[in-house]
Amino acid sequence: MFVDFNHGSGFVYGNGYPAPDPNQRINAFVDQALVAENQRQIPRDYLGASRIGEPCARKLVYEFTRTPPDPGKAFDGGILRIFAAGHIFEDLAIRWLRVAGFDLRTSENNGGQFGFETAAGRIKGHIDGVIVGGPYVGITWPALWEHKALKASSWNDTVKRGVQASKPVYYGQLQIYMAYMDLSVALFTVLNKDTQALHHEVVPFEAVEAQLLSDKAIDVIQAADAGELLPRISSHSDFYLCRWCSYTKRCWELSS
């Protein structure tokens, strides 16, 4: 029996239709599954401490009230894959630091994540870890430990300018965490996702900055309770943060 394996480039898939592109179909199935999985998650009923450093208070009100983002601006499969990869990179960094002799604690004795809550549970935070000991590197332990995995361009900017100037949201996160965890210093570790290079920045606690951030969080909660919106970060819709925002249409076209 002769079998012809030479289908050629004109192969069609049933009823004369071209064969589907496996790459596109597989990725579509993966992303659809990730989006569906994310939509099944129970939404937060609190203001996350990691978000308080967001420079636009109005955006925080939208987030806190679980206002739907503009059409097409919700997290898609690509973003969710980036988030998932970040957890894997964090696990690697934890292992590397521990192998190097740093006593990095990432969970309580009962297995729960280190964290805090305030304002009757309406503000909460969960930290990546605390380094309680290790080789002498010019830091007094214990220290808050926070990790981020960044693409090369973002990583380079953070290394060059520092977290406060380059990543103010992360800087605010560090300050709030140190305030409520009663820690005086943080070690901010950033991993370059393209090269796996590590950069470690020592960030001291700044009480004034932490107080301003805490006050902003209370303002957000009070505005949400009153059904009000806080001022926008800019008076112009073409401001770069507004152009990138998930609530641009709602904020500028549907709100006063």
**pTM of the predicted model, to two decimals?**
0.86
The predicted pLDDT at position 108 comes to 80
Closest CA to 48 of 151, 152, 118: 118
Residues 125, 214: contact at Cβ < 8 Å? no
The predicted pLDDT at position 3 comes to 59
The predicted pLDDT at position 5 comes to 55
Strand partners of residue 13: 17
Count Cα atoms within 13 angstroms, Cβ side, for 175: 22
What pLDDT tens digit does each residue of the chain (256 aa) get?
Answer: 555 556 555 555 556 666 678 899 999 999 999 999 988 888 888 999 999 999 999 999 999 999 999 998 888 888 899 989 999 999 999 999 999 999 999 988 777 789 999 999 999 999 999 999 999 999 999 999 999 999 999 999 999 999 999 999 999 999 999 999 999 999 999 999 999 999 999 999 999 999 999 999 999 999 999 999 999 999 999 999 999 999 999 999 876 6
Q: How far is CA 102 from the centre of its chain?
A: 25
DSSP 50: G
Which two three-digit tokens encode residue 161? 């300018």
Residues 223, 230: contact at Cβ < 8 Å? yes
The predicted pLDDT at position 69 comes to 93
Alpha-carbon distance 104 to 134, whole Å?
A: 8
Report the topology of domain 47-253.
Lambda Exonuclease; Chain A (3.90.320)
